[in-house]
Amino acid sequence: MKNGIHPEYKDATITCACGAVVTTRSTAGDYSVDICSSCHPFYTGKQKLVDSAGRVERFRRKYKGLDLEAMAKKK
């Protein structure tokens, strides 16, 4: 390998939002991910809500305190 042009390829610990930890090697070092092979619906076969953009959280905050069921009945 030529010196000075290769990034350091070091041990890395990747932590998933579901709690899974994968040990591998990476030039990026340790980092965390939102989804991995232990919790991705493709691998688990289970349907799961993946809210990476925080849309559900934003919706809940916006309509907090409002009686959505009562509003739906009024229609």
Name the residue nearer to Zn ion (CB basis): 12 or 20: 20
Alpha helices per DSSP H over 1-75: 41-44, 55-62, 68-74
To Zn ion, the closest distance from the beta carbon of 24 in angstroms equals 14
To Zn ion, the closest distance from the beta carbon of 11 in angstroms equals 20
Say if residue 16 is exposed, middle or buried (CB neighbours under 10 Å; 0-12, 13-18, 19+). middle
Binding track over 8-47 against Zn ion, x by CB under 5 A: --------x-x-x---------------x-xx--------
17-13-32 Cα angle (round to 5): 30
* Binding stretches for Zn ion (CB under 5 A): 16, 18, 20, 36, 38-39
